[in-house]
Amino acid sequence: MATIVVVGAGFAGHTAALYLGHHLGKKHEVVMVNKYDYFGFVPSWVWVGTGRMDPQKTIIPLKPVYDRMHVRFVHGALTEIHPEPEEQFVVVQKADGGTEQVAYDYLIIATGPYLNFDATPGLGPHTGNTYSICTLDHAIQTRDAYLELVQRLEKGDKAKIVIGTGHGTATCQGAAFEYISNIHKDLVRRGLRDRVDLVFFSNEPALGDFGIRGVTARYKGQLVTSAEFVEAVFRDFGIQWEIGRAAKKIEPGRIYWEDMDGNFGETTFDFAMLVPQFKGHGIHIAVKGPNGEDLHDKIFNAGGFVIVDGIYGLPYERLERNPDAWPSVYQNPWYPNIFAAGIAFAPPGPISVPHTTPNGTKIAPAPPRTGMISGIIGRIVALNVIDLVKKGRMTHDERMTEMFAACVASVGDSLWDGSAVILVVHPVVPDFRRYPNEGGRDLFVTHMEMGLSGAWMKFLIHHTFMYKFKGLPGWRIIPE
Ligand SMILES: Cc1cc2nc3c(=O)[nH]c(=O)nc-3n(C[C@H](O)[C@H](O)[C@H](O)COP(=O)(O)OP(=O)(O)OC[C@H]3O[C@@H](n4cnc5c(N)ncnc54)[C@H](O)[C@@H]3O)c2cc1C
């Protein structure tokens, strides 16, 4: 009997656990270790953050799902890995205060991002200066602050709201774009839009870069760039933008930034939601040998992300010309029974063109691994582990330079007058070898659209995925 331990019940790990439970759970042991006792549908926290969705509608208690899917649930945080063949166990700090050693034959690390607010002094909800929607607690806190601001606006106040990224190498610009669009829509609905200056503040080199080097696609029969597309949306909504800026320090009501030319400046705000730099949780996880040796460097890179089968260390000019540098099976090279999925795996480098200012500050969006990408990787890794257990060899692989992704960013939540931007890209990471055009992507598939149908799609995505993640009948036919 094999034991497979998955750590992290997000898009990647929870998807992996469902497949593993379904295929192996009855004959083998599948264990899920997660910090929280619920799965959170992160994309809908944008709606929680404007008070348009009940937080309870975005979470699924894990234990009942795993009981049905033959997965043992351990509620706690992974703190140590002992990966050498004579040991192979993890240490979990349990939510009830105890610790547990869990032995494994295969380990899947899917711990998502560590929100590194400390990389920008003064950033984050704990400082009281800026808000976040990256965890459910943060989204609820942000909602409360936003609704308080709305009350002040109703009394006649004016305000400046800044939404975007809080570090030169932050990612998740898509979530910031969606949040600012939802705030715009909410303020219009409340008749308060004219009392607010809305500013999108981002480290992207161009609007619509989204950390994936922007998108060139057909829109209404013409080739357009995502920069042109997002600019048109922002002009229409009266949203101003400040891009190519690294937030260096935050003080109450003030962002101190540096731009791509190395100039320094300040942006004031009354309310700000800024996404922090992401690191990997590996920065807090110890990796030890049988005699206490430190083996951390074999599993995690300096940023705490799991080293897998990518080609690391290539300069950007070589990386962008080598689609095979991106990992295909997400397997650790030192310990072939350890895999990573979702944001936890270390990408070989940025997708957006990196930039360093004359003062040495990096302003370069880190590569996103969105929910869909994380789910796909979770499935690939799970199917390979199932293969290894049953046949002794892996048969699944998919690089981000081959992967298709769709992103739907809502503008409000109404099915009658709402809207959404739909971005379909193939591949996620440009492959200039296969698609030697300006964007490095398949122009037949890559597509941008905006309209009411997108609002319906976003609504359906929420409900369909909540269904899938409950592991209810037919969950496997719903694609990641
Ligand atoms: C506001 C917002 C909106 C977004 N909207 C979209 C969208 O519309 N579409 C889209 O595709 N993507 C969207 N994304 C991105 C998407 O949410 C992420 O890409 C996705 O959640 C990543 O999945 P993951 O499984 O890698 O990590 P996560 O979903 O973060 O899951 C990681 C899990 O691991 C747990 N964990 C961490 N450390 C430990 C530990 N030491 N021990 C045990 N458990 C641990 C965490 O608690 C968490 O449950 C959005 C992100 C944000 C913040």
- The chain-wide mean pLDDT, for the chain, equals 95
Note the pTM of the prediction, 2 decimals.
0.96
Helix (H) or strand (E) holding 464: helix 452-469
Q: What pLDDT does residue 143 have?
A: 98
Name the pLDDT band for 262 (thresholds 50, 70, 90).
very high
pLDDT at 273: 98
Position in ligand 1 atom list of the atom nearest CA 36: 47
Q: Quick count: other Cβ atoms within 10 Å of Cβ 410?
A: 27
Beta partners for residue 266, in sequence order = 256
Per residue in 204-251, pLDDT (tens digit) is 999 999 999 999 987 777 888 999 989 999 999 999 999 999 999 999
Pocket test for ligand 1, best of 5, 11, 165, 300 (most atoms within 8 A of CB): 11
Query: Three-class SS of residue 262?
Result: coil
Average pLDDT over residues 367-394: 97
Residue pair 58/136 in contact by the 8 Å Cβ criterion: yes
Give ∠ CA 55-60-66 in degrees, rounded to 5.
165
d(CA 105, CA 385): 10
pLDDT digits (tens, 9 = 90+) for 269-313: 999 999 999 999 999 999 999 999 999 999 999 999 999 999 999
Instruction: Catalogue the E-assigned strands of 338-433.
Output: 338-340, 405-411, 419-425
Closest alpha carbon to 130 in 249, 289, 41: 249
pLDDT of 364 over the 80 cut: yes
For the cut 80, the answer to whether the pLDDT of residue 318 exceeds it is yes
Ligand 1 and 374: CB distance under 6 A: yes
Mean pLDDT, residues 195-206 taken together? 98
pLDDT of residue 422: 83
Out of 3.40.250.10, 3.50.50.100, 3.90.550.10, 3.30.1700.10, the CATH code matching 3-115+279-390 is 3.50.50.100
Least confident stretch, 136-145, 221-230, 338-347: 221-230
Task: Tell me what percent of the residues of the chain surpass a pLDDT of 90.
Answer: 88
> Residue 416: is its pLDDT beyond 90?
no
Q: 367-391 as b/e, with b when 16 or more CB fall inside 10 Å?
A: bbbbbbbbbbbbbbbbbbbbebbee
Predicted pLDDT at 123: 98
Q: Which of 36, 111, 131, 377 for mutating ligand 1's site (highest number of atoms within 8 Å of CB)?
A: 111
Q: Which residues contact 91 (CB under 8 A, 6 or more apart)?
A: 78, 79, 80, 81, 82, 99, 100, 101, 102
Gyration radius (Cα) of the chain, Å: 22
- The reported pLDDT for the residue numbered 407 is 83
Residue of minimum CA distance from atom 30 in ligand 1: 112
Nearest CA to ligand 1 atom 40: 77
Per-residue pLDDT at 2 exceeds 80: yes
Would you list the domain boundaries of the chain? 3-115+279-390
- Report how far ligand 1's centroid is from the alpha carbon of 397 (Å): 22
Q: Which region among 285-299, 389-403, 457-471 has the lowest average model confidence (pLDDT)?
A: 457-471
pLDDT tens digit sequence for 30-72? 999 999 999 999 999 999 999 999 999 999 999 999 999 999 9
| Sign of the dihedral defined by the CA atoms of residues 166, 170, 174, 175, in that order | negative
- In the reported structure, the alpha carbon of residue 1 is separated from the centroid of ligand 1 by a whole-number distance in angstroms of 31
Q: Token pair for residue 437?
A: 């055009």
For residue 457, the model assigns a pLDDT of 78
* pLDDT greater than 80 at residue 413: no
**Sequence-distant (≥ 6) Cβ neighbours of residue 273 within 8 angstroms:** 49, 130, 131, 132, 133, 142, 162, 163, 164, 176, 179
- CA neighbours closer than 13 Å in the CB half-sphere of residue 72: 13
How far is residue 278's CA from residue 116's CA, in Å, rounded to a whole number?
Answer: 6
Torsion angle, alpha carbons of 284, 140, 255, 153, to 10: 180
Lookup result for tokens 């997400």: 330
Whether 370 is in the pocket of ligand 1, judged by its Cβ within 6 Å, is yes
Q: Which of 309-313, 418-422, 440-444 has the lowest mean pLDDT?
A: 418-422
Helix axes 371-390, 11-24, angle to 10 degrees: 30
Q: Which of 5, 370, 372 to mutate to test the pocket of ligand 1 (most atoms within 8 A of CB)?
A: 370
